[in-house]
Amino acid sequence: MTCKEGDGFIEALAARIRDIGFSCTRCGECCRAGPGDGNLVMVSPSEVCRIARFSGKSPKDIAEPYPESVILPDHREVTFGRALRRVCGDCLFYTRSSCEVYPARPAICRTYPFMLEGNNLRVFPCKGIGLPISLQDSLALARDLVVRREEEDKEVEGVRQLFPAIPTVPGRFLIDSEGVTRL
Ligand code: SF4
């Protein structure tokens, strides 16, 4: 679906979410190991800091370089951003069937199984799809989706601006909106 941006966008998005229906069943399938990389959660630098403050863990223990990279024509290998670490395939924060950092969880977790691509609402497979959702929860989810898209756009722009700062020497580099790190 496409919601038109502007006055009423959040309300229209929330109405669409209510039409689809969603309630988290706490099945943990989006947190546990499964087929493919379904529980791979990309995290921004600010999300890593927030989770570090909440959990008391160091940023390095929370996130690792995103497992995919691109090879540039001059053979430099570049990884864009970080993902939550996983232990035996499960998110490291998934313990005793719940999320240890729930109040500080990343935007991807907060908005799953939905995502905005531009103004289009994408819906991913999830057991909770089709279940009733309240007006209040649908509005909160719609707001979180818009905030997530804005943060992701900012991150992409930060990376675009810093991209020329990747050293022109062979090697593996990680880039995010806060800088370039040699891996
Ligand atoms: S941060 Fe929490 S909600 Fe997100 S994948 Fe990990 S355990 Fe699940």
Return the DSSP state at 100: T
Q: How far apart are CA 145 and CA 107, in angstroms?
A: 8
Compute how many other C-beta atoms are within 10 angstroms of the C-beta atom of residue 116: 18
pLDDT tens, position by position, 96-146: 889 999 999 999 999 999 999 999 999 999 999 999 999 999 999 999 999
Averaged over 58-75, what is the pLDDT? 96
How close is the Cα of 104 to the center of ligand 1, in Å?
A: 10
For residue 6, pLDDT over 80 is answered with no
Compute how many other C-beta atoms are within 10 angstroms of the C-beta atom of residue 170: 9
Query: DSSP per residue over 28-42, as a string?
Result: -TTTS--STTTT--E
Residue 3: per-residue pLDDT:
47
How close is the Cα of 26 to the center of ligand 1, in Å?
A: 11
**104 Cβ partners below 8 Å, 6+ apart?**
50, 51, 53, 54, 55
Residue 167: per-residue pLDDT:
95
pLDDT tens, position by position, 107-116: 999 999 999 9
How close is the Cα of 110 to the center of ligand 1, in Å?
A: 9
Choice from 93, 102, 108, 148 to test ligand 1 binding pocket (greatest atom count within 8 A of CB): 93
Residue 37: per-residue pLDDT:
83
Return the DSSP state at 107: H
Q: How far apart are CA 8 and CA 82, in angstroms?
A: 34
Determine which residue's CA is closest to atom 5 belonging to ligand 1: 31
Q: How far apart are CA 172 and CA 183, in angstroms?
A: 5
In this structure, are residues 101 and 122 in contact, taking their beta carbons and an 8 Å threshold? no
pLDDT tens, position by position, 7-60: 699 999 999 999 999 999 999 999 999 887 889 999 999 999 999 999 999 999
28: alpha, beta or left? (left if phi > 0; alpha if psi -120 to 50)? left
Of ligand 1's listed atoms, the one at least distance from the Cα of 95 is 7
Residue 43: per-residue pLDDT:
97
